[in-house]
Amino acid sequence: MLGMALSWPACAHAEGSRLHWPVSPRPVVTRGFDAPSPNWNRGHRGVDLAATPQQPVYAAGPGTVVFAGVLAGRPVVSLAHPGGLRTSYEPVQAAVRPGQTVGQGQLLGTLLAGHPGCGAAACLHWGAMWGAAARADYVDPIGLLAETPVRLKPLEG
């Protein structure tokens, strides 16, 4: 590994571009991230956050709305953030439109009840990925939160 350079997306190293919770107050995670391997296998490509029906859902970071509508029967909002990160929010009744620029904390829409597997009154499924959907690398959005400490581990061997 000596001499190998590591490359991170621009947004991954800028403290100001770390994400914030998309619902307030800080939610309980009812189902965690379970990365599929390889990418096309079954998994849970995000986290489910306990909330209430009609609760406001906010942009976790600044970006551009790339999708706001129904996808596979579910209302979804998706944002493209600087550096190649994309986040998705469902089931959300959109208050934004594709092409719209949003700031961190800006209202995206309201949460709807009915997310499958949710034990709360409503759950927000919040996902994050680097790259385009067809070649995306799904990541745990919790690890991208500004309040999540970043710790480096030494290489062994």
Asked if residue 55 lies in contact with residue 122, where contact means CB atoms within 8 angstroms, the answer is yes
Beta strands in 4-157 (DSSP E): 29-31, 47-51, 56-58, 63-71, 74-80, 85-90, 92-94, 101-102, 107-111, 122-130, 137-139
Q: What is the pLDDT of residue 130?
A: 87
Q: What is the pLDDT of residue 44?
A: 58
**Which residues of the chain register pLDDT less than 50?**
1-15
Please state, in angstroms and rounded to a whole number, the distance separating the CA atoms of residues 30 and 140: 14
Rounded-to-5 percentages of helix, strand, coil across the chain: 10, 40, 55
Q: What is the pLDDT of residue 118?
A: 80
Tell me which of 2.70.70.10, 3.90.1720.10, 3.40.50.800, 2.40.10.10 is the CATH number of domain 44-141. 2.70.70.10
Asked if residue 28 lies in contact with residue 49, where contact means CB atoms within 8 angstroms, the answer is yes
Residues 6+ apart with CB under 8 A from 64: 79, 80, 99, 100, 101, 102
What is the domain partition of the chain in residue ranges?
44-141
pTM over 0.85: no
